[in-house]
C-alpha cells in the first residue's frame, strides 16, 4: 500500500514545471520541466509496474505514517472550464512551492463521479492525512465519505457542496456562496432590462451544487424583485463552452424574443456569445449576457462590449485548502463553511479590472 502512495506522489510532484498559481505570473524556478502530470498521477497507482513503485520507494524519504509532511489527496472533477483549470493550477502550483512541507496526490476524475469516488478510495488506502475534493454532484457520497470518516481521514469539500444527509461526514467546505452569486446576476439582468423582458438560462452540470444554487438564487431574486421578467427557457450546458454554444443555438432557433442570457459560468456565456454572433445578432447589445466566475475571457468579452457582467467565484483556494488541512491534521476544529469573498463586475468595470485577473 505504501509503495503505491510513493509512486503516485512522486509522479505528481515531478509534473509541475509549467504551472502558475493565482498569485504568480511565472513558474517556480526550481520546478521540474515535465508537462503537467494529472493523468499520470491519477493512473500511476493502477498502472505503474511493481519495479517502478519499488524504486520510487527507495528514492523517496520516509513517508506515510512516518511522514512529517502534510499529505493531501485532491480528487479534481476534470477540466470542464477555464475556471476549473485555474483552480487546478493554483493547487498544483502551491504544492510545488511547498514541497518541503506538502505532498500533494492529485487525481483528475475526468468529469465522472465514479472516478472521484475511486480516487478517494485510493487516498484512503494510501493513508493520506486529508482528502480534498470538489464534488461533481451533490448526491451519492454517503458510502465513500463514511469510509473516510471510519479511516480517521478528514475531508475538505472544495468549491462545491454535498446534500444535507452527508453534513456530518466532512470537516469543512471552502467555497463561494452560489445562491448569492445567482441573486447578484439577477440584479444585473433586472437592472439592464429595466425590469421587463425574456431571459434564457444556461445551467451548469445537472445535480451540481453550483448549478442548483445559482439557479435558486437567480430565479428567486427575479421572481421577488422583477416580476415582469420571465425565464422562457432553462437548460444545462454542463459548464462547458461547447455545450453553452450548442444550447444557445437551439434557444435562438425556438425564440426570436430573447432579451438576456444568464449562464451559470463564463465559459457557457462565451459559447452563447459565439452562437448569438453566428445568428447575426450583437451579444451585449441585442441580448444582455451575464455569467459567473470572473475568468479573463469574460473580462475580454466585456471590454469588447459583447458581455455585460460576471459574478466572481474565487478558484484561488490553494492556500486556504492547505492551511485548513494542516489544522485538521493537527486535530484543530475549523468552521464548517469557509466562504469566499467574491466581487461583482459589470462592463464598465472590465477594462480597469482585466490586468488583475489571474485565471
Chain residues that interact with ligand AHR, rule: CB under 6 A: 80-81, 83-84, 134, 159-160, 210, 239, 265, 292-293, 313
Q: How far is the CB of 225 from ligand AHR (least distance, A)?
A: 23
HSE of 243, CA atoms in CB hemisphere, 13 A: 17
Q: Which is nearer to ligand AHR, 159 or 219 (CB)?
A: 159
Q: How far is the CB of 337 from ligand AHR (least distance, A)?
A: 14
Q: Which is nearer to ligand AHR, 124 or 208 (CB)?
A: 208
Q: How far is the CB of 23 from ligand AHR (least distance, A)?
A: 20
Q: How far is the CB of 335 from ligand AHR (least distance, A)?
A: 19
Q: Which is nearer to ligand AHR, 63 or 247 (CB)?
A: 247
Q: Which is nearer to ligand AHR, 40 or 80 (CB)?
A: 80
Beta partners for 263?
202
Q: How far is the CB of 174 from ligand AHR (least distance, A)?
A: 11
The DSSP line for 164-199 is: GGGTTS-SEEEE--HHHHHHHHHHHHHHHTTT-EEE
Q: Which is nearer to ligand AHR, 70 or 117 (CB)?
A: 117
Helices (H), 1-112: 2-14, 38-47, 50-59, 82-97
Residues 230 and 219: their CA atoms lie apart, in Å, by: 9
Q: Which is nearer to ligand AHR, 78 or 284 (CB)?
A: 78
Contacts of 153 (CB under 8 A, 6+ apart): 123, 124, 127, 128, 129, 130, 131
Q: How far is the CB of 239 from ligand AHR (least distance, A)?
A: 4
Cβ density class 304-320: b for 16+ within 10 Å, e for less: eebbbbbbbbbbbbbbb
Amino acid at each position: 500500500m505504501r509503495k503505491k502512495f510513493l509512486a503516485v506522489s512522486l509522479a505528481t510532484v515531478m509534473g509541475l514545471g509549467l504551472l502558475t498559481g493565482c498569485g504568480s505570473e511565472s513558474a517556480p524556478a526550481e520546478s521540474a520541466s515535465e508537462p503537467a502530470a494529472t493523468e499520470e498521477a491519477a493512473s500511476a497507482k493502477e498502472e505503474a509496474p511493481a519495479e517502478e513503485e519499488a524504486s520510487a520507494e527507495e528514492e523517496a524519504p520516509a513517508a506515510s505514517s512516518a511522514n512529517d509532511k502534510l499529505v493531501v489527496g485532491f480528487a479534481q472533477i476534470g477540466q470542464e472550464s477555464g475556471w476549473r483549470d485555474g483552480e487546478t493550477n493554483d493547487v498544483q502550483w502551491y504544492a510545488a512551492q511547498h514541497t518541503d512541507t506538502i505532498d500533494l496526490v492529485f487525481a483528475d476524475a475526468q468529469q465522472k463521479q465514479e472516478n472521484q469516488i475511486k480516487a478517494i478510495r485510493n487516498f484512503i488506502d494510501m493513508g493520506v492525512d486529508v482528502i480534498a475534493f470538489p464534488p461533481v454532484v451533490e448526491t451519492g457520497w454517503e458510502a465513500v465519505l463514511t469510509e473516510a470518516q471510519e479511516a480517521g481521514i478528514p475531508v475538505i469539500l472544495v468549491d462545491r457542496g454535498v446534500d444535507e444527509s452527508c453534513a456530518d461526514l466532512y470537516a469543512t467546505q471552502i467555497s463561494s456562496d452560489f445562491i448569492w452569486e445567482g441573486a447578484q446576476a439577477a440584479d444585473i439582468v433586472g437592472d439592464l432590462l429595466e425590469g421587463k423582458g425574456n431571459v434564457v438560462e444556461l445551467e451548469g452540470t445537472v445535480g451540481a451544487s453550483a448549478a442548483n444554487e445559482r439557479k435558486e438564487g437567480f430565479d428567486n431574486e427575479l421572481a421577488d424583485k422583477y416580476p415582469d421578467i420571465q425565464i422562457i427557457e432553462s437548460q444545462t450546458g454542463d459548464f462547458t463552452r461547447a455545450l453553452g454554444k450548442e444550447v444557445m443555438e437551439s434557444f435562438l432557433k425556438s425564440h426570436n424574443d430573447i432579451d438576456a442570457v444568464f449562464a451559470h459560468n463564463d465559459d457557457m456565456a462565451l459559447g452563447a456569445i459565439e452562437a448569438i454572433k453566428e445568428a447575426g445578432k450583437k451579444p451585449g447589445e441585442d441580448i444582455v449576457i451575464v455569467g459567473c466566475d470572473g475568468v479573463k475571457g469574460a473580462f475580454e468579452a466585456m471590454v469588447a462590449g459583447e458581455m455585460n457582467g460576471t459574478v466572481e467565484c474565487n478558484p484561488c483556494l490553494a492556500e486556504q485548502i492547505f492551511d485548513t488541512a494542516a489544522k485538521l491534521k493537527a486535530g484543530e476544529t475549523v468552521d464548517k463553511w469557509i466562504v469566499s469573498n467574491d466581487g461583482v463586475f459589470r462592463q464598465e468595470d472590465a477594462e480597469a479590472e482585466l490586468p488583475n485577473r489571474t485565471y
